[in-house]
A and B are shown apart, each in its own frame.
Chain A
Amino acid sequence: QVQLQQSGPGLVKPSQTLSLTCAISGDSVSSDSAAWHWIRHSPSRGLEWLGRTFYRSKWYNDYAVSVKGRITINPDTSKNQFSLQLNSVTPEDTAVYYCAREPKTVPGMRSWFDTWGQGTLVTVSS
Chain B
Amino acid sequence: DIVMTQFPDSLAVSLGERATINCKSSQSVLYSSDNKNFLAWYQQKPGQPPKLLIYWASTRESGVPDRFSGSGSGTDFTLTISSLQPEDVAVYYCQQYYTPPAFGQGTRLEIK
Contact = CB atoms under 8 A, between A and B. Distances in A.
The dominant DSSP class at the B interface is: loop
A75 interface: no
A118 interface: yes
B103 interface: yes
B61 interface: yes
Interface residues of A, number: 22
Interface stretch (B11-19, B20-28, B94-102): B94-102
B52 A112 contact: yes
Contact of B97 (A65, A112, A117, A118): A112
B49 A62 contact: no
Given A46-B103, A46-B105, A62-B100, A112 B50 contact: no
Given A46-B106, A47-B93, A98-B49, A112 B100 contact: no
Contacts of B99: 110
Interface string B28-61: 0001000000101010000011111001000001
Interface string A101-124: 010000001111110111100000
Contacts of B104: 46
Interface of B: 1, 31, 38, 40, 42, 48-52, 55, 61, 93, 95, 97-106
19 contacts: A46-B105, A46-B106, A47-B50, A47-B95, A48-B103, A49-B100, A49-B103, A64-B100, A98-B50, A100-B49, A110-B99, A110-B101, A112-B52, A112-B97, A113-B40, A113-B50, A113-B52, A114-B52, A116-B50
